Amino acid sequence: MTRSPAVLYALVLLAACGPDLSPRKERIARLADIVLPGSAIVSDDRSRYAYLVQDADGTRMIRDGVTSENYHVATNRSFTPKANRHVYWAQRSDRQPLLVVDDLVVPIGFSRHEYVVFDPSGTHWAALAAPFEKAGAIILRDGETLGPFADASVPAWSPAATLAYLRALGEPLLARRTELVVGDAVVRENTGNAAACIPAFGEPFEGPELPRQAMVRYLSDGRLASVMPLDDRWVLRRDAEVLGTFDATAPTAPGSVGPYLLAGADACQRGSVIAVTSVTAAEQGPVVAWWERPADTPHWRVMVDGKAALSPPCLRPWPHQPPQLTANGRAVAFPCSVRFDDKGEAIKVIHGLRQYGPYPEVWALALSDDGRRLAYGASDGSLDLGWAVYADGVQVSERYYAIWRPRFDSTGQHLGWEAMRSGRGPNVLVLDGRALTSFDDLLDGPLFDRPGEVGWIIRRKRHLARVNFPLRP
């Protein structure tokens, strides 16, 4: 009997770690032999699973062992929290996009993964989409279609399962009315056009435009954060409290580097601008953070509840992650692009009063629960093995081809991550710098949800499992 190089590599790693780091496996499911890589998902309680298979007949979803119809293409979204409802995208042979929630099939137009949202119980769902082959936007609320509207924002559920969203009525070049809807009531409205900017070197946009200009988000205490027009300006509010006013709004652009050039009205070049897709909030506190550019300056800064975080002037809002807040919102961290020239880009990592770097590239910041520690990935610019994990500015890993986001345990003493050793693999799970085992697909982790151990949910060949390792002092 022969073993693959990946399996032999995993066995060597486990043997080197010693008996106290032997994995404990919790099997979830055995998959078909034609599983589509990267397609498997598992519910939070691991009671349900779903994945895609693909062959000459088409693509099929297998959920809890039951096979769907044949699709032209399909993509898993997720299970909802707690209620474990299954959500995925599909297209039949007529190329009509479908949103499937359990066994409810809803025809839609363009949408995105982040346009589908759930209430905290996972019982209710909502989605923003374009009507099929039409301009405009619709909101789906538990399968009910609201609209069509000229435009709409991504909706948000309150802790009490009330849905809020923004909708625009009227032609875009005329004075259109923008309404904030909570439940089925209009609670605020504005008539007029405020300046909206487009990144000069960003990716092309599809679908509704309002998600790149405005937003709603419920905070942990039930208050609603929103960005919407007020006359010819934009206002960021927390319920009725004004946190900031701006001449223009713009999205971040994931493909951008260096100075952030915006196309649009004069306000896009000289006015104050909020990067609306950067607006974020603490998980357990009503703290709001965002990127903004004050008027008459090319530089951007991070704001937390209306106060500027201490940092050098930044050339652009960070496009890959919003500012990272601790659960209570008392600490913030973010990358700051401080230079762009013929030598490339220089990015510092800001953590409170501390600054690390600069680095050519930065990825995936993670704060410890108490906000005292910060981990992240940074590159030295090499094309092959350029990435390493850093903790508090110190390199704590070897260099890899690529990495996933690191995570601290609740004490801030242990740090886990995942990495690719090359473009062909193997992928490895790592704890405190020690490689533990290999995997094919990562579903979740590292999970520090049990005393004295760390876990990951992974796929290895045809097996879905949670693998657990003890934490060493």
- From 375, 416, 466, select the one nearest 28 (Cα to Cα): 466
| pLDDT at site 19 | 46
Q: How confident is the model at residue 206 (pLDDT cuts 50, 70, 90)?
A: confident
Indicate the Cα dihedral angle 176, 265, 230, 319, nearest 10°: 110
Tokens 């703290």 correspond to 287
Q: With a cut of 50, say whether residue 16 has pLDDT above it.
A: no
Long-range contacts of 424-431 (CB under 8 A, 24+ apart): 425/6, 426/6, 426/9, 426/10, 428/13, 429/456, 429/458, 429/467, 430/389, 430/397, 431/469, 431/471
Long-range contacts of 377-385 (CB under 8 A, 24+ apart): 377/403, 377/405, 377/406, 377/417, 378/349, 381/344, 384/422
Indicate the Cα dihedral angle 405, 223, 288, 362, nearest 10°: 20
| pLDDT at site 359 | 97
What distance in Å separates the CA atoms of residue 137 and residue 129, rounded to the nearest whole number? 6
What distance in Å separates the CA atoms of residue 381 and residue 389, rounded to the nearest whole number? 14
**For residue range 349-383, what is the model confidence (pLDDT) as tens digits?**
999 999 999 999 999 999 999 999 999 999 999 98
What distance in Å separates the CA atoms of residue 411 and residue 104, rounded to the nearest whole number? 43
Tell me the residue type at 63.
R
What distance in Å separates the CA atoms of residue 356 and residue 390, rounded to the nearest whole number? 10
Between strands 97-101 and 104-107, the pairing is antiparallel
Q: How confident is the model at residue 21 (pLDDT cuts 50, 70, 90)?
A: low
Provide the CB-side half-sphere exposure for 208 (13 A, CA): 34
What distance in Å separates the CA atoms of residue 327 and residue 349, rounded to the nearest whole number? 20
Neighbours of 64 (CB within 10 A): 11
Residues 276 and 213: beta-carbon distance below 8 Å: yes
Q: With a cut of 70, say whether residue 213 has pLDDT above it.
A: yes
| pLDDT at site 366 | 98
Enumerate residues 6+ apart whose C-beta is below 8 A from 236.
225, 226, 227, 242, 243, 244, 245, 246, 274, 279, 288, 290
- From 352, 448, 341, select the one nearest 393 (Cα to Cα): 352
**Dmax (CA) of the chain:** 74
pTM given for the model: 0.92
What distance in Å separates the CA atoms of residue 208 and residue 134, rounded to the nearest whole number? 11
Cis peptide before 473 (omega within 30 of 0): no
Q: With a cut of 60, say whether residue 20 has pLDDT above it.
A: no
Q: Retrieve residue 229's tokens.
A: 């027009």
Residues 72 and 58: beta-carbon distance below 8 Å: yes
What distance in Å separates the CA atoms of residue 70 and residue 56, rounded to the nearest whole number? 11
| pLDDT at site 258 | 76
Q: Retrieve residue 183's tokens.
A: 């439940």
- Which residues is 67 bridged to in the sheet? 62
**For residue range 139-190, what is the model confidence (pLDDT) as tens digits?**
999 999 999 999 999 999 999 999 999 999 987 667 789 999 999 999 999 9
| pLDDT at site 175 | 73
| pLDDT at site 2 | 38
Neighbours of 34 (CB within 10 A): 11
What distance in Å separates the CA atoms of residue 374 and residue 379, rounded to the nearest whole number? 16
| pLDDT at site 136 | 94
Enumerate residues 6+ apart whose C-beta is below 8 A from 5.
none
**For residue range 52-99, what is the model confidence (pLDDT) as tens digits?**
999 998 999 999 999 999 999 999 999 999 999 999 999 998 989 999
**For residue range 147-159, what is the model confidence (pLDDT) as tens digits?**
999 999 999 999 9
**For residue range 89-139, what is the model confidence (pLDDT) as tens digits?**
999 989 899 999 999 999 999 999 999 999 999 999 999 999 988 889 999
Residues 457 and 21: beta-carbon distance below 8 Å: no
- Which residues is 179 bridged to in the sheet? 167, 189
Q: Please give the residue that has the higher pLDDT: either 343 or 470.
A: 470
| pLDDT at site 319 | 92
The mean pLDDT of the chain is: 92
Residues 278 and 284: beta-carbon distance below 8 Å: no
| pLDDT at site 113 | 96
Residues 46 and 28: beta-carbon distance below 8 Å: yes
| pLDDT at site 204 | 75
Residues 198 and 264: beta-carbon distance below 8 Å: yes
